[in-house]
Structure 1
Amino acid sequence: MLLKKYPKEKKIFSVSELTSFIKIHLESKFPTLYVEGEVSNLSLQSSGHIYFTLKDGGASISCVMFRSSTRNGAEFLKHGKKICIVGSLRVYEPRGSYQIIASRVELKGQGDLFSEFEKRKADYENRGWFDSAIKKEFPLFPKKIAIITSPTGAVIKDFYNVVKRRQPNGLLIHLYPVRVQGSEAAKEIKNAIELINNKKEEDLIVIARGGGSIEDLWAFNEKEVVEAIFYSDLPIISAIGHETDFTLSDFVADKRASTPSVAGELVVSDSKVLLEKVSNSFKSLERLMFSNLEYKKLQLVPFKKSKLTDFFIQQIEKQFMNLDYLNKDLNFLIKQIVDEKKSQIKNINMVSLHRQMSSTIKSQKALIGEYLNQSFFKMDALILDKQQNLEIIKERLMAHSPEGILKKGYTLLSKNNECVYLINQLKVGEEYDLQLCDGKANILIKGKLNGKKK
């Protein structure tokens, strides 16, 4: 098969040439520009630089505000805020991408998503859906828990570890995997809530997700999710995002947990604490019972002198003896049960420790991967910063180069490739080379004038 040859008259660009061409024309076309949009993906770096995305309904663009410019309105950079930035367009050639270098930020009002959130919140609040009086009670000792979350990530692992640490045995956790972000997330969460209510196998529901921006958490503000939580027959705990993140699901749920790990603590009581409470209650009951028996014995003392009551006293003393024997048996039985439970807890804790270590190793691997990604991102930003500094230095060097000096009106006089810089070096009647900014000329010396004398 013959390859088609490119026509000779067509210019064929390399990738570098094309990117450089775009950079020159874009940056020269937009030396200063004003752009309005909504803030998202805000990230403050340890270097003091601020990275964020400016978006509207149709597009988004990456932006950076360097530390030297942060005094010019950086306090307005918040998730969901609508702002106007003043800056310049920059093309990052290694990636073939462009971004805005913001030099100033002006506040334009709250973003569309935040405004919609407040509007929906006010509507549901007026309906009375957030009232504490209609919140459902949670079982004290649940046997089965349904958790709606992503099957991957740290959320399900953290929740599982907390629950199993506090209640090692006798508790089942059923995972209902859903997407927790994106256009299909709300529908999947709503379907999972309805499925659990229809099955009637679990005692309560936990809806969990890690932190994120208002866009990332928006599925939990959708009408179908909020209504599914409100109409649920089972009590629901909402554990969405971090402690500072709030969604409509948090307000309408029967309980809100600041994090998925806290949700695990709310769901089940600590078995060790419960055993300690039972032991303390038994000791209090035992003391009360013996105190009451001693009091009754004292009340019966006057009747011992009467022969008519001898029979009844013998019967009562017999019952006291029976009670003493039963008390000893009860103490032995309780001690046996407590020792047996302690042994079971110890064995289960070893298994839980092994699982916890495996989970911790996986979590650390994921964390290291995240740190690497962040490091690469910071490295790219540093390279971009250094490249911009190099451009400035390059411009300064060009201004002081021989070519730059010649363009300022100076000339270079030489003979036989040796520079002539003193009047005494010139000889009348000889030819010399004169270098200008755009070429050379040959001159003949007809006379000399000393700089001090005319």
Structure 2
Amino acid sequence: MNFTSTDQLYSVSGLTRELKNLVEGKFRFVRVQGEISNLKQPFSGHSYFTLKDNSAQLKGVLFKGSARYLEQELIDGQQVVCHGRLSIYEPRGDYQLIVDSVDFKGAGLLQQRFEQLKNKLAAEGLFSAERKKALPTFPQKMLLLTSPSGAAVHDFLKIWRKRAFPCNITIFPVRVQGVEAAAEIATALLTVNREFSHYDMIVLCRGGGSLEDLWPFNEEILARAIARSTLPVISAIGHEIDYTISDFCADHRAATPTAAAEALIPDKKQLTEQLQRHTYSLSNAVYSLLENSQNRVNQSRRLLGDMDFLFTNVSLRLDHATEKLQTLIGKKIERCQIQTENIQSKLHNNSPKAKLNLKGQQLAFLTERLHFYMQNSVQDWQAKLEQHAALLDAVSPLATLARGYSISRKIDQKTGKRTVLHRSNELQKGDQVEVLLHKGVLECRVDKVLDNGKQ
């Protein structure tokens, strides 16, 4: 065909068709070497990618039928040799390489740089778990380092609004693509740590893209800035299959910006439901504990019996024994006095010295017997008194108080009279109460009156 003539008029589709026939006729089979980038694999199973070198790029397509014969899957950054034919896709006027087979030549330059930096930083310990900082369960302030116009930040904020958790989010705008992006993000990290140190965390946020698009997050300057950050850093870069050096240096890695928001921002509705369930369970447990305690108290009262009756009975017996002891001692002293007077009378009537000495001896003897008898008698009665006192002390309210109980008495604010309390309904809010303890007295004021657990 002769394309030098300027007289012939072509339509767009006609000229494109002529070029398609020319290209396909000239390049029926070619071998092209380059690096794969911008790889896309939709549900159809076909693979669309760009084959590039330092100065040019060529679109390529590998259909599903040919892809199954590959030695390995295609990935961005691979250096390959593609075998196929050139063709022009008429609807868009694009020329592309239809690939029949692929020879894999190893990782591309970017992939090699990625692995070299990854190994270097790992050897320095920048990826170690000991360096990872813990993330707060309920963050109050969060800062996003991202492009404010990107889809990633909108995905993140969508989850934040949906979960309605009261967390303050600040967007710090930075470039997330391009040659200068890594240095700009590293500087921003330094600024945030200095001026926003009261924040809970920093989130690096960017959507998916090719290896070249995400390369700023594989730069060493950014990796070291993340490692130096005093605030926890979360890396939410690309899609689930995308891994960057920032992911390994960060304190936490999220597969996508949406996944980061779901992991960091609690769901207010879910937390409220959990709180309600825990409140209900705790209330049931408290009510059950109170009921069991009341049952044990009632059982103990039945076992102890009527303490008032026992105390009154022992008090009466002690009073009776004390009165009887006092009477006996008085009579004994009276008899001793009479005997002493008789002896003194006889001594006075018998004045001779011998009788006086004899009587003196008799008097001394009788006095000694009297003291002995009185001492024994007093000791016997004192032992009985101690026995009764010990019995009285065993049932005494003071002993009950020593075991942790108390006696509550209502204080009449007008007269100062104190009345022992038996039931809670004997009091009203604002009444003054005196509480007798084993040691000390408390004066209290009633704020609330409960009757069997009810107000």
Q: Which residue of 2 aligns with 1:308?
A: 397
The one-letter amino acid of 1:190's match is: A
Q: Is the counterpart of residue 279 in structure 1 residue 279 in structure 2?
A: yes
Give the alignment partner of residue 218 of structure 1, picking from 209, 215, 219: 215
1:24 CA drift (Å): 6.0
AA partner of residue 181 (structure 1): Q
Q: 1:204 to 1:38 in 2, by over 3 A?
A: same
The alignment partner of 2:185 has SS state of helix
Stretch deviating more after TM superposition (97-106 or 71-80): 71-80
Tell me, yes or no, if structure 1 residue 161 matches structure 2 residue 158: yes
Amino acid at match of 2:136: P
TM-score of the aligned structures, taking structure 1 as reference length? 0.60
Partner residue, 2:195: 199
Unaligned 5+ runs, structure 1? 1-8, 334-454
**Structure 2 residue matching 1:124: 3-state secondary structure:** helix
Q: How far 1:188 moved relative to its partner? A: 2.8
Q: List aligned pairs for 1:314-325, cutoff 5 A.
A: 314-315=407-408
Residue 106, structure 1, aligned to residue 195, structure 2? no
Other-structure match for 2:413: none
| SS of the residue 1:116 aligns to | helix
Aligned residue number for residue 136 of structure 2: 139
Partner residue of 1:180? Answer: 176
CA contact (8 A) 1:304 1:313 kept: no
Once the two structures are overlaid, the 10-residue window that deviates more, 113-122 or 260-269, is 260-269
Q: CA deviation at 1:20?
A: 7.0
Question: What corresponds to 2:29 in structure 1?
Answer: 32
Measure, in 2, the Cα distance between the counterparts of 1:255 and 1:292.
Answer: 48
Q: Is the CA contact 1:76–1:106 (under 8 Å) kept in the aligned structure 2?
A: no
Counterpart position of 2:259: 262
> Structure 2 vs 1, CA of residues 103 and 145 (structure 1 numbering), >3 Å: closer, same or farther?
same
**CA distance in 2: counterparts of 1:299 and 1:199, whole angstroms:** 66
1:124 deviates by 0.8
C-alpha spacing 1:14/1:96, structure 2 compared with 1 (3 Å): farther
Question: SS of 1:315's equivalent?
Answer: strand
Q: Which amino acid is 2:114 matched to?
A: F
2:233 to 233, 236, 251: 236
| 2:48 match | 51
- After superposing the two structures, state which structure 1 stretch, 183-192 or 254-263, moved more: 183-192
Larger radius of gyration: 2
For 1:39 and 1:327, locate their aligned partners in 2 and report how far apart those are by CA, in whole Å.
80
- Shift of residue 91, structure 1, vs aligned partner: 3.6
Q: CA deviation at 1:71?
A: 4.6
Contact 2:165 2:267 in 1 (8 A): no
- What SS class does the counterpart of residue 194 from structure 2 fall into? helix
CA distance in 2 between counterparts of 1:117 and 1:135 reads 22
Contact 2:202 2:233 in 1 (8 A): yes
Rounded to whole Å, the distance in 2 between the matches of 1:60 and 1:195 is 39
C-alpha displacement of 1:22: 5.9
- Give the conservation status (yes or no) of the 8 Å contact 1:76–1:105: no
Measured after TM superposition, the shift of residue 114 of structure 1 is 1.8
Matched, 1:81 2:67: no
SS in 1 for 2:28: coil
CA positional deviation for 1:245: 1.9
Q: Distance in 1 between matches of 2:158 and 2:81?
A: 45
Taking a change above 3 Å as real, the CA distance of residues 285 and 45 of structure 1, as seen in their structure-2 partners, is: closer
Q: Does 1:189 align with 2:185?
A: yes
After superposition, the CA RMSD in angstroms is 4.1
Q: Please report how far the alpha carbon of residue 220 of structure 1 lies from its aligned counterpart in structure 2 after TM superposition.
A: 1.0
Confirm or deny that 1:64 pairs with 2:61.
yes
CA distance in 2, matches of 1:203, 1:95: 50
Would you say the 8 A contact 1:76–1:83 is kept in 2?
no
TM-score by structure 2 length? Answer: 0.59
Is residue 2:38 matched to residue 1:41? Answer: yes
Task: Check 1:49–1:250 CA distance in 2 against 1; reply closer, same or farther (3 A cut).
Answer: closer
Task: Write out per-residue CA displacement over residues 126-183 of structure 1, whole angstroms, 9 at most, x where no aligned residue.
Answer: 11111111211223332211011222343223322323443433x2110112232222
Moved more, 124-133 or 37-46: 37-46
- Which amino acid in structure 1 is aligned with residue 185 of structure 2? I
Alignment of 1:383-394 (within 5 A): none
Offset at 1:292?
9.6
**Contact 2:226-2:246 within 8 A present in 1 as well:** yes
Pair 1:151–1:314, CA change in 2 (3 A):
same
Matched pairs, number? 323
User: Counterparts in 2 of 1:427-446, with a 5 A limit?
Assistant: none
1:290-331 CA-to-partner distances (Å, cap 9, x unmatched) read 489659958996698344337763239979969996697xx9
The residue that corresponds to 1:433 in the other structure is none
- State the distance in 1 between where 2:241 and 2:445 align: 58
Which amino acid in the other structure matches residue 119 of structure 1?
Q
Cα displacement (A) at 1:27: 4.4
- Runs of at least 5 residues in structure 2 that lack an aligned partner in the other structure: 308-394, 410-419, 425-443
Is the Cα–Cα contact under 8 Å of residues 165 and 265 in structure 2 kept in the other structure?
Answer: no
Quickly say closer, same or farther: Cα 1:233–1:45, change in 2 above 3 A. Answer: closer
Identity, in percent, stands at 38
